[in-house]
Structure 1
């Protein structure tokens, strides 16, 4: 099979999978989820004319005789008539007849009278000037952020329709891989497992089920075929070595290979397959940085598709510090973002994570890129 271009592979991973089902969650539990439907305001905001400053609600020209006080939460703010004023707190309902709220710092107080120059601003927020019933507050596919939660609360939302978190099984292969302690002779610590778990949770999926598997075809087939997850991620078995059994397992299971290798560096031996039952399998290279590139190329876009997440516009920066042209394949380069530019982090390699750990994300240098052109930036 011909290697897919990096951009083709990434687009395919995003569009192949349709969105998963819908959960309804309390507003307080919505942060980090992805909206499954538009959410509209159910009320006026403000719900009444309200003071935007601490001071005096006045009518007519000054000086004004102070006739009372209104605090936030008042249910009967009363009336002001020309020549009178009511002391008022920020957020309190404005009395009928008030033309402006004069801030404390602008007034002179003399006994029961206050005076000030003619107000330059009304300092009154009118009912419904922020939100009205039916106003769309957020559209389907949007990530629920803390500020958005606050807006939705203002608009009277109590519960949210959100996409179910995709279920993920992470199959870590390799006779030599250990997940705790110091590796012994011939062993290595599993670096991809924690990385994939964190990236998967960050993307909005459930915490993956972790299944360590030795280099055994039957054990790998059982781990991939077991029912439950929407996505099975397999690390370290996507190439063509003697211990790499994923291709054979997928053939045994009747899977459809959609991506079998990507024209990128590092990370070309990555794959995306569809299982007959509708599940998805992603194969990642075993080298840690190459596996991270596979996550950015296939796993994160696939999860975005399953979550129905709206596609964000590409972020581009000039590349400062120089890099050789990528040649005929896409090159993914760890970079820091400094003063509006992407700056390469030294000592990057397929098996090394130090550069990626010190970086903000990767710069995407596609075939044909020239040093004077901006690069797309993918944040970790």
Structure 2
């Protein structure tokens, strides 16, 4: 589609455009152990109670509380031990009055018992046990359904499945869960000058890093990344590289080849094929592209490493999280004081790399605004956002931080 834009698109407008491009992912059932970071797609009802049976909270002896009334160090109550109940025993027999069953933590409490005497309050007898203190009715018993009632709704659709949630659902005996599928993202970097890390560099060549960064960012949020190694600035080579993979993915992300100069292979190949190229009022990362190629949604990012990383952070990451059903698509924001003066171009929202220590009121710029300063990005834990209508931030001025780490 032709580019009809005459003015750069705002950051917020372009973010909404990319969010609409990446549609909701389908629902599938996955084993509980494979659902970390995914979003529950349907409410979950408890198929059993938790605990599923009355069980002991202590190692000790299951008794009737009336049988140990008056027990003391000087006058212990002695009871015959008629059964051993380890955890996992299923053929538990009733407790007869005036007797005790030795019982382990988690084992089922026998019918007739109404309390457990912890082993430390006894002589640990095997055939007979001496109990040195009275124990109140219900002591150290975990009652059926005390935690969860069978048939109750225990988790609602939209819940992000973290370790605690997965462990709980596994305890209910659920083998699999309905979740939004992981996004499958195809990543392609372009540039004749790019060399895979580990190979020697010739003059004029650089190591390809964009695909490593973007793939890691996709996988960090729970996606599946498929990297196609860099292609040269050749349109036919790009088509040939993409063709076998177009129907196996939810999104194609390219880096490089989208600017206004010559040898812009992504623009040359995809302009007029369903992808629009435009400028966004952001620094770094102004040249962008979006659309669809052969039915596959496409986001084209700039080639400069910081521009590519920032563009993914601002536009693609929230879109993928929303498609996964995640409620937390936005990074945490913090207001702080700039530790140094900064300048920004008029009409562009600038994102400077920064460092903000927890509990501090200061934001420290790391490196300059250049889109090639990768070390600064690696050292930063936040982005310092400077609005379009601000060209100078004085030392001590208020700034908004987009936190890159929790």
Give the TM-score taking structure 2 as reference length. Answer: 0.79
RMSD: 3.3
Whether the aligned pair in 1 keeps the contact of 2:366 and 2:379 (CA below 8 Å) is: no
Unmatched runs of 5 consecutive residues or more in structure 1? none
Paired residues, number: 377
Aligned counterpart in structure 2 of residue 42 of structure 1, from 38, 44, 47: 47
The alignment status of 1:179 with 2:196, answered yes or no, reads yes
**Which whole-Å CA distance do the structure 2 matches of 1:66 and 1:269 have between them?**
84
CA contact (8 A) 2:21 2:291 kept: no
Tell me the distance in 1 between the aligned counterparts of 2:85 and 2:269: 74
**1:191 & 1:28 partners in 2: Cα distance?**
32
1:280 corresponds to: 297
Residue 303 of structure 1, CA deviation? 2.1
Cα deviations by residue, 1:88-145 (Å, 9 ceiling, x for unpaired): 2111112234333333345566863212254598322211122233444444444433
**Matching residue of 1:124:** 141
The match for 2:263 is 243
Aligned to 1:59, which of 34, 59, 64?
A: 64
Distance 1:16 1:235, change over 3 A: closer
For residues 334-376 of structure 1, the C-alpha deviation after alignment (integer angstroms, 9 at most, x for no partner) is 4455334575462254212212223345454545798446633
Deviation at 1:263, TM superposition (A): 2.6
Deviation at 1:282, TM superposition (A): 1.2
Query: Where does 1:1-380 land on structure 2 (aligned, <5 Å)?
Result: 1=5, 2-61=7-66, 62=68, 63=71, 64=77, 65-67=79-81, 68-80=83-95, 84-107=99-122, 112-116=129-133, 118-119=135-136, 122-180=139-197, 181-220=199-238, 223=241, 227-228=246-247, 229-255=249-275, 260-271=278-289, 273-275=290-292, 277-312=294-329, 314-319=331-336, 322-324=339-341, 328-336=347-355, 338-341=357-360, 344=364, 346-348=366-368, 349-366=370-387, 371-372=397-398, 375-379=401-405
Structure 1 stretches of 4+ moved >6 Å? 108-111
What do the CA deviations read for 1:60-112 (whole angstroms, capped 9, x no partner)?
25335353432211224444467654332111112234333333345566863
Whole-angstrom CA distance in 2 between matches of 1:363 and 1:315: 12
Provide the C-alpha distance between the structure 1 equivalents of 2:138 and 2:358, rounded to a whole number of angstroms. 39
Measured in 2, the distance between the counterparts of 1:222 and 1:93 equals 65
| Matches of 1:254 and 1:331, distance apart in 2 | 29
Change in Cα spacing, 1:219 to 1:377, as seen in structure 2 (3 Å) is same
Q: Give the alignment's TM-score, normalised by structure 1.
A: 0.84
Q: Report if aligned partners of 1:326, 1:366 keep a CA contact under 8 Å in 2.
A: no
Give the gaps of 5 or more residues in structure 2. Answer: 72-76
Larger radius of gyration: 2
Please give the alpha-carbon distance, in whole angstroms, between the structure 1 residues aligned to 2:399 and 2:338.
13
The residue number in structure 1 matching 2:74 is none
Shift of 1:202: 2.4
8 Å Cα contact 2:288-2:301 kept in structure 1: yes
Alpha-carbon spacing, 1:277–1:34, altered in 2? closer, same or farther (3 Å): farther
CA distance in 2, matches of 1:221, 1:164: 28
C-alpha deviation, 1:197, in angstroms: 1.7
